[in-house]
Every structure is written in C-alpha cells, then in structure tokens.
C-alpha cells in the first residue's frame, strides 16, 4: 500500500516539475538565496541553480513531447476499429502497471 502511494507521489512530483510554477519556485528560491545568504551565492551556487534550471527545462520538454505523442496515439486508437479502447485510459496508470498490460498484450499477439 505504501509503495503504491510512493509511486503515485513520485509520478505527481514528476508532472509538477514540468509545470511553469516550478520555474517560479526556482526564481523565488534564487531571489531568496540572493537576499538572505548573498555571500554563499558563489560560482558553486550559480552552477547549482543552472543545473536545477536545466533539469526543469529537460523535464518540461520531455513532458511536452510525451503529451504530444500520447495525443497522437489516442487519435490513432480512436480511428482504428480493431484497437482496444481501454488502452486510451492507460495514462493514469503507474509505469509498472503499464508494463504488465503491454506484456500481456504481446503474449496474446
């Protein structure tokens, strides 16, 4: 039970880090750091902030690409009469559950 909750929480955190609010949090953190501990905001601190920003940018790009791909696949599934419609709702499932469904579908082929 706790493992499922942890997986769901990690999935939600991953989704939240792809939102514009994550960049606002980074900006707020940077300003706070500059105002409160200005003397510790050296090159190492700047590298940390840049690494964090790049991580958020990569997460955002990956999320955008995944959402576009999912929208295209949903459209193809809807257009194909032989496709299983329950696959369209797979987006809300955890990765491990998706892998089990995919493996079961490959065994039936």
Report if residue 60 sits inside a domain.
yes
Q: Of 91 and 59, which is predicted with more confidence?
A: 59
Rounded-to-integer distance, Cα 94 and Cα 92, Å: 7
Number of domains in the chain: 1
- For residue 84, the 8-state DSSP code is -
Report if residue 22 sits inside a domain.
yes
Q: Residue 16: CB partners within 8 Å, gap ≥ 6?
A: 22
User: How many CA atoms within 13 Å lie on the side-chain side of 58?
Assistant: 6
Report the percentage of the chain scoring pLDDT > 70.
90
Report if residue 41 sits inside a domain.
yes
Report if residue 9 sits inside a domain.
no
Domain containing 26: what range? 16-107
Q: Which of 64, 69, 50 is closest to 20 using CA atoms?
A: 64
Q: What is the pLDDT of residues 51-72, one digit of tens each?
A: 999 999 999 999 889 888 888 8
pTM: 0.69
Report if residue 28 sits inside a domain.
yes
Give the model's confidence band at 46: pLDDT under 50 very low, under 70 low, under 90 confident, else very high: very high
């Amino acid at each position: 039970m706790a493992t499922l909750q942890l997986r769901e929480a990690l999935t939600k955190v991953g989704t939240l880090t792809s939102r514009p609010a994550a960049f606002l949090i980074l900006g707020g953190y940077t300003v706070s750091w500059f105002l409160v501990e200005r003397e510790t905001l050296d090159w190492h601190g700047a590298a940390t902030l840049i690494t964090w920003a790049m991580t958020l940018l990569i997460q955002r790009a990956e999320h955008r690409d995944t959402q576009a791909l999912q929208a295209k696949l949903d459209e193809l599934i809807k257009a194909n009469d032989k496709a299983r419609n329950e696959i369209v709702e797979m987006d809300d499932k955890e990765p491990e559950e998706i892998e089990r469904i995919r493996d079961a579908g490959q065994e039936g082929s």
